[in-house]
Amino acid sequence: MIKSMTGYGKAEAALAGGRIIAEIRSVNHRYGEIYVKLPRPLMAFENEVRKCVAGRLKRGKIEVFVQQEGVAGAGALPVVNLQLARAYHEAFSRMKEALGMHDPITLPLIASQRDVLGAGGGEEMAESLREELLAAVEAAVAGLDAMRLREGTELMEDLKGRRETLSLLIGRVAERAPQVVAEAGRRLKERVEQLAGDSGVDEGRLAQEIAFMADRCDITEELVRFASHLRQFDETLLLEEPVGRKLDFLLQELNREVNTVGSKANDAEIASCVVQLKAELEKIREQIQNIE
C-alpha cells in the first residue's frame, strides 16, 4: 500500500498541572530528514524522539514540534549555584578594578546571570515526563501516518487509471508496428524501381536493403521491455514497503523505451501515441514525487 509523503499529526499527553503537545508535519523530499524542536527541559530525549519518528516514517522532510504547558512537580524548590555566583562576583570585581568603576555589584545582578538560579529536581522532572513525551509523539506520528495513507490511497487510484491509459496507448503502437515495417518496405521498393527505370532492379540486393530497414524500424524489443516494466509497476504498487524510489526508477525505464520507439518508428500514428505516452508518463512522474 503506497503512502503520500505529505501529512500532519497532532497529539497531547495530560500532566499533573499541565500537558505536552506534539505536532508533526511532513512534505516531499528525496530522502528522509527529521528535524526535532523540544522545550529545554526535554532536550535530553531528542534522540529517542527521532528514533520514534524514524521507525515509522522512512522518507520526506519531517518536522517535530513539542510544547510543554504548565509545570509538572510545581513544588520543586529553586536551587542556587553558589560556585557560579561567586565566579560571577569575582569576574565583575575584576572588571570594576580594571575599568576604574565604582558601581556596586548587586545581588539582583548576579542572580540574573544564566544558571545561577535553577529549579530543583529538574532532571527528575524531565525523566518523569519521558513516557508522556514519547506517547504524545507516537500518537502524533500515528495521526500523520494515517493521513499519508489516505492520500496514498487516492494516489493509488489515480496511478491505476493512468497505467491503464499507458496500456491502451502502447497497445495501439504494437498494433501499428507491423504495418509500419510493411509500408516502409513497399515504399522503398517503389522508390528503387522508379529510380532504376528500364535498367531493372537487383531483387536480391533490394530484399537485403528491405531487411536492413525492417531491422532498424523494428520496435519489438522496446514493446516487450515496456510491457515488463508495466508489470513491475503493478507489482510495486502492491508492496507494503516504501516504493517511491522504485516507482521513480521504473518510470525512467518506461520513458526510455518510449523515446526509443519514437526515434525508430518513423510513422505519424505512432508518433502521436508517443507524444501521448510521454505526456501521461510526466503526469505519473509528478504524482510519484509525493510517494514515500
- 46: containing domain: 7-74+121-148
Q: Checking DSSP bridges between strand 32-37 and strand 60-70, what pairing results, if any?
A: parallel
Does a structural domain hold residue 1? no
pLDDT at 252 over 60: yes
The pLDDT tens digits of the residues spanning 10-61 come to 999 988 778 899 999 999 988 889 999 998 888 889 999 999 999 999 899 9
Of all residues in the chain, the percent with pLDDT exceeding 70 is 84
Q: Across all residues in the chain, what is the average pLDDT? A: 86
Secondary structure in 3-state letters for the chain: CCCECCEEEEEEEEECCEEEEEEEEEECCCCEEEEEECCHHHHHHHHHHHHHHHCCCCCEEEEEEEEEEECCCCCCCEEECHHHHHHHHHHHHHHHHHHCCCCCCCHHHHHCCCCCEEECCHHHHHHHCHHHHHHHHHHHHHHHHHHHHHHHHHHHHHHHHHHHHHHHHHHHHHHHHHHHHHHHHHHHHHHHHHHHHHHCCCHHHHHHHHHHHHHHHCCHHHHHHHHHHHHHHHHHHCCCCCCHHHHHHHHHHHHHHHHHHHHHCCCHHHHHHHHHHHHHHHHHHHHHCCEC
Q: Are 183 and 38 in contact (CB under 8 A)?
A: no
Does a structural domain hold residue 46? yes
> What pLDDT was estimated at residue 103?
86
Q: Which of 46-50, 129-133, 212-216 has the highest mean pLDDT?
A: 46-50
User: Lowest-confidence range among 42-56, 78-92, 233-247?
Assistant: 78-92
Does a structural domain hold residue 192? yes
Euclidean distance between CA atoms 233 and 27, whole angstroms: 24
Does a structural domain hold residue 241? yes
Reported confidence tier of residue 75, pLDDT bands at 50, 70, 90? very low
The pLDDT tens digits of the residues spanning 145-180 come to 999 999 999 999 999 999 999 999 999 999 988 887
> What pLDDT was estimated at residue 121?
53
pLDDT at 124 over 60: no
User: Lowest-confidence range among 33-42, 127-136, 182-191, 204-213?
Assistant: 204-213
Mean pLDDT of 227-252: 93
Reported confidence tier of residue 199, pLDDT bands at 50, 70, 90? low
> What pLDDT was estimated at residue 28?
92
Q: Based on the fold, state whether residues 105 and 229 are members of the same structural domain.
A: no
pLDDT at 202 over 50: yes
Does a structural domain hold residue 185? yes
> What pLDDT was estimated at residue 50?
95
> What pLDDT was estimated at residue 217?
76
Q: Based on the fold, state whether residues 137 and 226 are members of the same structural domain.
A: no
Euclidean distance between CA atoms 117 and 76, whole angstroms: 13
Q: Are 44 and 24 in contact (CB under 8 A)?
A: no
Does a structural domain hold residue 53? yes
Q: Based on the fold, state whether residues 164 and 142 are members of the same structural domain.
A: no
Q: Which residues face 25 on adjacent strands? A: 8, 63
Does a structural domain hold residue 246? yes
Nearest to 16 by CA among 76, 77, 72, 67: 72
- The residue among 291 and 195 whose pLDDT is bigger is 291
Contacts 24+ apart (CB under 8 A), 161-165: 162/280, 162/283, 162/284, 162/287, 163/230, 163/233, 163/234, 163/284, 165/280
Q: Based on the fold, state whether residues 279 and 177 are members of the same structural domain.
A: yes
Q: Based on the fold, state whether residues 277 and 182 are members of the same structural domain.
A: yes
pLDDT at 73 over 50: no
User: Lowest-confidence range among 82-86, 146-150, 196-200, 258-262?
Assistant: 196-200
- The alpha-carbon radius of gyration of the chain (Å, integer) is 35
Q: Based on the fold, state whether residues 50 and 90 are members of the same structural domain.
A: no
Q: Based on the fold, state whether residues 86 and 103 are members of the same structural domain.
A: yes
Q: Are 69 and 18 in contact (CB under 8 A)?
A: yes
pTM given for the model:
0.69
Q: What is the CATH number of the domain that holds 143?
A: 3.30.230.70
Reported confidence tier of residue 286, pLDDT bands at 50, 70, 90? very high
pLDDT at 69 over 90: no
Q: Based on the fold, state whether residues 98 and 135 are members of the same structural domain.
A: no
> What pLDDT was estimated at residue 190?
64
Reported confidence tier of residue 76, pLDDT bands at 50, 70, 90? low
> What pLDDT was estimated at residue 86?
92
Q: Distance of CA 148 to CAs 96, 171, 183, 239, 243, Å?
A: 62, 34, 51, 16, 14
Q: Checking DSSP bridges between strand 7-15 and strand 18-27, what pairing results, if any?
A: antiparallel
Euclidean distance between CA atoms 209 and 201, whole angstroms: 12
Q: Based on the fold, state whether residues 23 and 129 are members of the same structural domain.
A: yes
